[in-house]
Each structure stands twice: as structure tokens, then as C-alpha cells.
Chain A
Amino acid sequence: MKEFNMVLAGVGGQGILLSAEILGTAAIKEGLNVRVSEIHGMAQRGGAVVSTVRIGEKAYAPTVLDGQADVLLGFEPFETLRNLKFASEKTLVIMSEEKIPPTELTAKMMPYPSLKEVEEKIYSFTKNLIIVDAPKLAKKAGSPLTQNMVLLGALAATGKVPIKTESLLDAIKELIPAKYLDINVKAFKLGYEFVKKAATKS
């Protein structure tokens, strides 16, 4: 098997590291070799956060080579764009609609670009793009903090990640405190259904 390469990108506080840990834990449950990279500290204070997950026997380095991501999971449009160097025409980009304006943009009194503009830039790399209204689905699940689960659910529904959905759910159960588990699983399912429904429509 060729290695599976994935990049998760967003803003500190969006639950990116937890999502990567869930993917890694699920891979272990299936007896796979996995590497997950994280950046802590400075990067968490509202800064840009990137985490990578690599699955496969020959995955030694935790980081993904430019142009080699199978999936780019974007938690925020700007951060999705910022990490397109990992993408190629083969990459599937799953992106949340959640816009978090960087303070630089606010200071310059510049509006956040429309999703259409962001979409076009992504298209210059790949046509495989799924945009998820993660804020809306997370709210529906019970908390805006569950957007990461919505995105993981969406990812699972695409079948692109070489891990079974049950393993992902097992990992979620293992890593999320019991108190918050129900709404997180609900968010995961809403993300999953969203992609499945979109697939039957097209």
C-alpha cells in the first residue's frame, strides 16, 4: 500500500490536534503504522495550526511532502489556501465555511473574501472540493465547538481515508470526555450524512 498523506489546517482552538489524534488512534486500532505531527505552544494562541497524519508501512517522517497530500482538511478558508502547497490535482480538499478573520485583515479594514473567490483558488490546484457548512451543522449538534467532528464525519463519508468509520467512532469515544461525547458523535454523524446526501444528489 502507498502511504496515505493528510494535512489538517486551521486556527488554534479549532480542535485540529484532537482530530489528528483521533485519526492516529483509529489507525492504531486497525493495526496500521501511523505518524502524526503536531505543533504546540506559540501556534495555539490564535495562530495558524497545521497537523499532518500519515498512514502506511513506509511512513517514517510525520510530515507531508509538498504536492503529496491525499486529503487536505481545511478548518478555515484562509488556512486551507495557506496549505495548498501540499495539494495536487489528485488531492481531495474538504473545507469548512467557518471564516475566522485574521487581525491583520481587520486592521486593514479589508473584508474576508467570498467563498466563491476561495473556491476558485482551490480549483487552480484541484477540482475535488467539498465545502461543508460546519458551523451550522455543529450548532445543530449542540455546540459550535464540535465543528472538528463534523469535518471528521465528512471525511469518513468520502471513503478516502483508509480507516473504517467504526474505528474512527471508537477513537472518538476513547478520546472525548463522556460528558461531551453525545454531541460530538452527533456532529460526526451530521457531517457524514451531509457528504452522503451530497453524493446521491450529484
Chain B
Amino acid sequence: MLDLRILLADSPRKRVLLLGNEAIARGILEAGIGVVTTYPGTPASEIGDSISEIAADAGIYMEYSVNEIVAAEVAGGAANSGVRALTAMKHVGLNVASDFVMTLAYTGVRSGFVIVTADDPECYSSQNEQDNRFYALLANLPCLEPSDPQEAKDMTISAIEISEKLELPVLLRTTTRISHTRGPVTYGKLTKPVLKGEFVKDVKRLVMVPANSRPKHPILLKSMEKAKEISETSPYNKITRKGKSGELGIISSSAAYNYAVEAANLLGLDVSIMKLGMTHPLPEKFIGEFLKGHAKIIVVEELEPYLELHVKAIAKDYAPNIKIYGKIGNSYFPRDGELSTRIVAVGLAKMASKKLPINFEVIDEKYAEVSRNLPSRPPILCAGCPHRASFYVMKRVAGEKAVYSTDIGCYALGAAPPLRTGDMLTCMGASIGAAQGISKATDAPTFAIIGDSTFFHAGIPGLINAVYNNHKIIVTVLDNLTTAMTGHQPHPGTGWTGMHKPAEKIMIEKVAEGCGVKCVKVVNPFNLKEAEAVLKEAMKHSGPSVIVFRAPCALMVARERRRKGTELLACKITDKCTNCMACVKLLGCPAIIFEEGRVSISETLCNACGLCASVCPYNAIECAK
């Protein structure tokens, strides 16, 4: 793994291989940003993680905030006190932060403020694939879209400059293929961050009561006119290739631009290409002139037809007879999922009536032949994961009839067979609220399954609601003492901060008691008997109950063991085994495998949690623990 101290190097023109998110972290140092906040979420996590590793050395303040809106508020407060700030989140995080951001557009900022939104076309690690460029449109905020790690770094600095020029927050929108692509990045100069500013009181500007906010709206619209001027001359909006005939023009941005260039090369198209890096507000005149110079335009973009809608509107004034191809009406490209060079090449070939030099159908047919009956390999709970024990107990006590309202985190993987403990999942914290409605509308025992970090993020208001309105739900907090799914970031229950400083732990059980929950229990899920008893008791309770299943993440345990050099004795199947398959059917542990007609345990995968030994009906599994 990259030693992140390389980001601190005071050596302009140094060329380094960086992940898009690491490049943004370098941009933070070059832009002199003093406050960085985040709530971890794929594909944005490494921005905060990189900064967390180097913040103390770089002399900047970093925190993993409790959720995205608090992260935005902390950074927004700093940016209104003369300190440059950045907050980073995944696309759905901006839904959480949007309440603050929509009105921060009215107050504006005094120092540069960048909001990074990392979108996830194809839902690689997300519950939806919303296109956050529409937030720029909705909130009236400038938006920059990098297409590679170098631009990701450069645009972080430019976003600060634009933000200070307009006194507005600026969105920096990446996607998975930008945030999680490594590429060469050439460094610029570091800027020493300013950590202390001044909060200048100005009620008319900063206190958004109706009388003050009403006049701020036209001011914001005026600022966006200025932003449009910036966009017209922005070096990020450019024509990167001029066609000979002037017949065909491509307009593109972000990752889609890379596919468009490669697809045009593949097809040998005579085409002009316009690359847009500042995509809100769009450079109307610049695009208008480009339209005038061509007979046909094809808009290549991922997800929603954001550019296409604007280009069509601009065409009405500049080139009303031009033909524009994209996703609306004539679907040359899909509106869902991630694009690829193949998808773009197929769309371009169809539109330009060109033959593809690669016969994809033949590849598909051959591939269908070899991939038929290939077993799938979805992500699963790790061997030794404490969530597996929690789910096993829930299933054993409450069975199939219970409804399991689950949440965002590793434990969402419990929805898969054989555990099947996930019946509804939408967004952070929704497990607790949705469970209340389910419980009200049915007579089924209703569980809310939520992780420790998610509980702090958005679970608490729902819990208070359950107490006050006396909803009979069982809230199970699967506390593995970390934010596991996104890479083990700290949260308020872990006892340490993003600056690697110790902090007083906030205990989930105390929070639950403070919220007025009468039945609160803490139990280690690997202690099956006790866990079962606790669960049975909670199910009898007439109102909401909270059970904290507490055991550390198996990956942390394994890492700690490697660090200490402790040897691990994997669980072993003895000759008492009848091959009944109970362990396989009940647990779905990846370390339990089927070899030469018999169940066995993989020594390399087993983490020796002993759960299989506890559930084996024939006591045929030995575990040293």
C-alpha cells in the first residue's frame, strides 16, 4: 500500500501514481484547505482516510463527522469564519447534507468551500445510482467534473478559487471510475493552510429567516450569471479534437469522456470532441458556437441526460435545425448503469452508420458458453464475522415469520441465504423508522437491524420516535466497534478520532437508555445461549427494546493477530461428522467448504470464531478457542 506521506512532499512537478481520491487529498494540501470533514462512504472514503493519515503533519484539521449533514455544517461553519474547507461524501450522503447545502447557497461562504460528491454508476457499493449533477442545478451551485486523477487534484484547487470568487460553495463531482482509478498526477506547489479566521457577524447575510432569505435568492441567481462567465472561459471546458468535415461533434464529461475518445479512435471517426469540466453552469455561448459548426451532435454522458437537456435547450437559440443524439427520444446510450468503451462505441457506430472493428457478438457467444453454470460469487460476510452469529440467533428465536428491517453496512449481506435476515433496506437509519410502520401495520415480530456507525449516523431520531409512540420493535445494534464496510473508520463509539487522538467513547446502550428505552441489553453474539435468552426477553417486552450485539469485526481481529504474530488454530471437523450439512445450511460461512464429497474447513479462510462448533448437532467440530 502507498505510504500516504508521499502526499506531503513539497516537490512541485513530482509525478506520482495516485488514486483519484488520493489526488483530491493532494489537492486539499495544494489549495491550503484547513478543515476537512467527511462521513465515510464508497466511493468517497479514501479522501477522508488519506487526509486522516497526514492531517497532523500537514497542519490541518480533519474529522470523521457523525453524518454527512453534520460534516457539511462543520466545514460550512469554518468556511464562514475565514478558513478554507472541504467536505467529502458519497452521492447519497449529499441527500443527507442537502438541507444545509440548499440554504448555504443563500448565505454563501467567506472562504473557499468544496463539497465532494462521489457518485456510483452501476451501484458497485450503493443503494441507488442517482446523478448528483442535478444537485448543482437544484441548489444553484457551480459544479466541476474531473475525468482523471490529475484533474481531480487540479479541480480541487480550482473549486476553491471559484468558491472564493463567487462566495459560494462549489460541488466537485466524481464517479467510482474517477475516485477509484489510479493514474499519474503531477504535483503543484503546497499552500500553507490558515487554521484560524474570524467570524464576522452579519445577520442579513447569515441568518436565513424569511425576511433575509427572500432577498438572497436573486443575489444567488446573479452569482450564477457570474459563474456562467467563469464557465465560458474555463480551461476545463475545451475542444480536445477538431474534426475535418464538421459533420459530427461529441459533447462529453467525466468518465464518459474517456470512453468517447477511445470509442472514436476505435471507429476511426472524423469527429470534433468537446470536453466539459465545469458542468454547472454550462458555457452557453461556447457550446452554442460548437453546435453551429457541426451538422450532428452526440452527447455522451453517464446516467441522466443532464448535458443533453441543456445542449438541446442551447440548440434552440443557436442551431435550431441541428440533430442531437443521446438518451432522450432516440436512445443511443442507456440511462442506467455504468458506461464503457464498448457501450459508447456501439452507440457511436449506430449513430454514424459505421461498422465496429471488433465483433462483440462473437465474444458474447463464446463467453456465454464458458460462463454458463459458473457459480456466482457475491460479497458475503467474512469467516468469523460476528454478524453471522447475531443473525443465526435472531433466526433461531424469531424464525421466518419475523420481519427484518435492515440498514446500510456489512450486515446488509445477511439478506442473502442461508441467513435471510434482511427484508427491507433503503438508506442510512431507515431500518428503525420502517420497522415501526411494519410493526404497526402487521402483527409480525419486527426487528430493526442497524450497525454501530449507522446507529450514530441516523438511528437515534428513529429510536426516540419508537419510544415516544411506543412502537413494539426490537432494535438490534450490530456493534462491531468500527465502520467496517468502508474500511474501518472511527465513529463516536470507538474512542478515537480522525486526528488519531483518543476521545471519550459514547456507549450505544447509554444513548438508548437516554432516549427512554426501558429494555436495553448488551450481549456478545458468539455467546449463543445468553444471546438467545436476551432476545427472547426482548420479544416479550411491550414497547421498543434495544439489544447491542457487541463483538469486534473479524478483519480487525485477524489484523491484530497478524500484528502480534499469534498463531491461529483453524476449526477442525472430526470423524464424528455425519456430513449432515447443518453448518453449511445454517451459517453460509465461506471457510466451510465441500471437498471430495465431504464438508471440511479451509485452514486459510477460517478465523476460528467457533460458531460452527456451537451449532454442530453432533459436536463434530473442534475449535481451540
CA A43 – CA B487 in complex, angstroms? 12
Chain B residues, Cβ within 8 Å of A108: 375
Judge whether B1 and A40 touch: CB under 8 Å: no
Interface size class of B (residues with CB under 8 A): 35 or more
Beta-carbon contact of A84 and B370 below 8 Å:
yes
Known A-B contacts A47-B380, A65-B341; the reply to A37 vs B181 at CB < 8 A is yes
Candidates B1, B374, B486, B593; contact of A78 at CB < 8 Å:
B374
The contact string, 1 if C-beta is below 8 Å from chain B, for chain A 73-102, is 000001101101100100000000000111
Instruction: Tell me the bound Cα distance from A135 to B177 in angstroms.
Output: 32
- Tell me the bound Cα distance from A62 to B1 in angstroms: 19
Contact B124 A34 (CB under 8 A): no
Interface stretch among B105-113, B257-265, B448-456? B257-265
Asked if B258 and A61 make an inter-chain contact with CB atoms under 8 angstroms apart, the answer reads yes
Enumerate chain A residues within 8 angstroms of B485, measured Cβ to Cβ.
41-42, 45
Interface size on A, residues (CB 8 A): 62
User: CB distance A45 to B410 under 8 Å?
Assistant: yes
Complex alpha-carbon distance, A46 and B380, angstroms: 6
* A61–B341 touching, CB < 8 Å: yes
Q: Which of A35, A38, A107 contacts B417, CB < 8 Å?
A: A107
Can you list, as one digit per residue, whether each of A111-131 has a CB less than 8 Å from chain B (1) or not (0)? 110000000011011000000
Q: Is the CB of A40 within 8 A of B43?
A: yes
Residue of B182, B184, B345, B588 touching A38 (CB-CB under 8 A):
B182
Known: A45-B410, A67-B358. A38 touches B42 (CB 8 A): no
Provide the B353-366 mask, 1 if CB < 8 A to any CB of A, else 0. Answer: 00000101001101
CA distance in complex: A6, B199 (Å)? 53
Interface string of A40-73 (1 = CB under 8 A from B): 1111111110000000001011110111100000
Q: Given A47-B378, A66-B342, A105-B594, answer yes or no on A35-B183 (Cβ-Cβ < 8 Å).
A: yes
Complex Cα–Cα for A66 and B266 (A): 13
Interface contact A46-B379, CB-CB below 8 Å: yes
- Provide the residues of chain A in CB contact with B487, threshold 8 Å: 40
Give per-residue flags for B411-425: 1 if the beta carbon is below 8 A from chain A beta carbons, else 0.
001000110000000
CA distance A84 to B367 in the complex (A): 7
A11 to B180 CA separation, bound complex (whole angstroms): 18
Given the complex, which residues of B lie within 8 Å of A68, measured CB to CB?
A: 358
B377 is contacted by which of A33, A65, A79 (Cβ under 8 Å)?
A: A79
Known: A21-B17, A125-B366. A28 touches B371 (CB 8 A): no
Question: Which residue of chain A is the closest to B563 with respect to CB atoms?
Answer: A179
- A102-B375 in contact given A60-B258, A63-B341, A107-B585 (Cβ < 8 Å): yes
Task: Kindly provide the distance from the CB of B41 to the nearest chain A CB, expressed in whole angstroms.
Answer: 9
Q: B376 contacts A104, CB within 8 Å?
A: yes
Cα distance A11–B605 when bound, in Å? 12
- Show 19 residue pairs from A and B whose CB-CB distance is below 8 angstroms, ordered by the A residue: A21-B2, A35-B182, A38-B182, A40-B46, A41-B486, A42-B124, A45-B382, A46-B381, A60-B148, A60-B258, A61-B262, A66-B342, A81-B370, A100-B590, A102-B377, A105-B594, A106-B593, A108-B375, A111-B596
